[in-house]
A = this chain, B = another copy of it.
Amino acid sequence: MTIYFVTSNKAKFEEAKKIAEEYSISIEWYNKKYIEIQGNSLEEIAKRSAKMLIGEINGKFFIEDSGLFIEALNGFPGPYSSYVFKTIGNDGILKLMKGVKNRKAYFMAVVAFYDGKDIKIFKGFVQGEISSEKRGEKGFGFDPIFLYKGRTFAEMGEEKNKVSHRRRALEQLFSYIAKFRE
């Protein structure tokens, strides 16, 4: 039974495919920019967006969405991280955090998996802090300002993928699938 990862981002698919292989699971790429709905949380957004794909995709499938949540900013930029990155970017976040003592932040990834009957949600987190300036050249998005154990995600490069929120959410998903296969 084919399991599709619905995403228009090839790099995301390749990363997920490698993690799936660790669980002897094979996944296929369903290249599509699907409709994302607005919502108060990533979980709600992923669940409702997946729901809208049922019927269109012939088989099991999952989607993934992630965001940066900054405690002192009430979770901003959260579900709208990609829009916020495109407009005010890392410099905007650093400006908002200027003089702010509480630098706590986390990345969260949410996977919504349709198993042919229901939608199940899997989450992955990585805790860190907002740095005081941009550091590092690797990665993308908010990676240069997200400090994890003394280095930013943009300084960690490939190492980031070992601890990332996305990996953790996907591990949850693939453990679940592997368990039901037995």
A residues neighboring B (CB under 8 Å): 35-38, 45, 48, 73-80, 83-84, 86-88, 92, 95-96, 98
Contacts and interface: CB of A to CB of B under 8 A. Distances in A.
Nearest to A40: B83
A152 B38 CA distance: 29
A76 B88 contact: yes
Copies of this chain present in the complex amount to 2
Given A75-B87, A76-B92, 11 more contacts: A36-B38, A37-B38, A73-B87, A74-B87, A76-B87, A77-B87, A78-B83, A78-B87, A80-B83, A92-B96, A95-B98
Contact of A76 (B36, B84, B98): B84
A66 to B, nearest CB: 14
